[in-house]
Amino acid sequence: MKRSSRRDDAGDATSAGSPAGASARREYDRRRAQREDHARARFPRIGGLLLALNEEPTSTRVWDQGAKGEEAVGAVLDGIADVLVLHDRRLNGGSRANIDHLVVAASGVWVVDTKTHKGDLEVRRLGGVFRPREDRLLINGRDRTSLIEGLQRQVETVQRALITAQLDVPVHGALCFVGTTLPWTDKAIDGIPLIGRRGLRKAVQRRGDLDAAARASVAALLDSRFPPA
């Protein structure tokens, strides 16, 4: 496995492979190096000074921000006993998207998507008498409901992989926010919790029927079906 974390009988955490956020970190390093090479090639004498005086573009910084978020969530997941964790996994079908964290716990499989949007999170209910009611996810006043839809597609992909392997295992989705101001009370949309790291720890530690042997089998399957990104 690229990154599978567990605890041995003595309770010590063991893990192997690349850390959470590895692909985002690689992309940030690539973009940063490309920017530096361009500046030094165009301005051989003052390229270093220009780089020091000017901030990195947002299109580069978001990769660093995302990698740090995934690393922070990964550290929490890696510290939880009795779960197996696969970080930074590639989706099937040629998609450029990846699954940030796959957690195999007693309660089933958790597909965790880490987000680092800044601002206040709000769940707003729209509709009423003449139109169906629907919940919308807003962060800093902007509609981010597409985050829910993207995670739902990931959950469905993992469900299909398990069904194809004739494994009857519950699959849950969770959006975990780092650096976002969350409401005091827990929020969810379409059954997907909108939580921070503390809430994620609590969620994946729910009781369930998946014993240690079953968790190992499921993790091995997911490791083969969703290779490292």
Task: Describe the strand order of the beta sheet including 180-181 as a list of residue ranges.
Answer: 142-143, 134-139, 119-126, 180-181
Q: pLDDT by residue (tens digit) across 172-200?
A: 999 999 999 999 998 999 999 999 999 99
* pLDDT of the residue at 109: 98
Q: What share of the chain is helix, strand, coil (3-state, %, to 5)?
A: 40, 30, 35
Query: Which range has the worst mean pLDDT, 60-74, 104-118, 202-216?
Result: 60-74
> Residue 9 pLDDT more than 50?
no
DSSP string, 35-54: HHHHHHHH-TTTHHHHHHHS
What string of DSSP letters covers 122-189? EEEEE--SSS--EEEEEETTEE-THHHHHHHHHHHHHHHHHHHTT----EEEEEEESSEE--SS-EEE
What are the strands of the beta sheet with 4-7, ordered from one edge?
Answer: 13-16, 4-7, 84-90, 98-105, 108-115, 171-177, 192-195, 187-189
Residue spans per domain, the chain: 80-225
Q: In angstroms, rounded to a whole number, what is the distance separating the alpha carbons of residues 114 and 197?
A: 10
pLDDT value for 72: 96
Task: Give the pLDDT confidence of 97-106 residue by residue, as tens digits.
Answer: 799 999 999 9
> How much is the pLDDT for 129?
66
pLDDT number for residue 6: 43
Does pLDDT of 10 surpass 70? no
pLDDT tens, position by position, 52-101:
878 888 888 888 899 999 999 999 999 999 999 999 999 875 567 799 99
* Amino acid 68: pLDDT: 94
pLDDT tops 60 at residue 138: yes
Instruction: Give bridge partners of residue 87 from the DSSP assignment.
Output: 101
- The Cα 181–Cα 195 span in angstroms is 10
| pTM (predicted TM-score) | 0.84
- Residue-level pLDDT at 92: 73
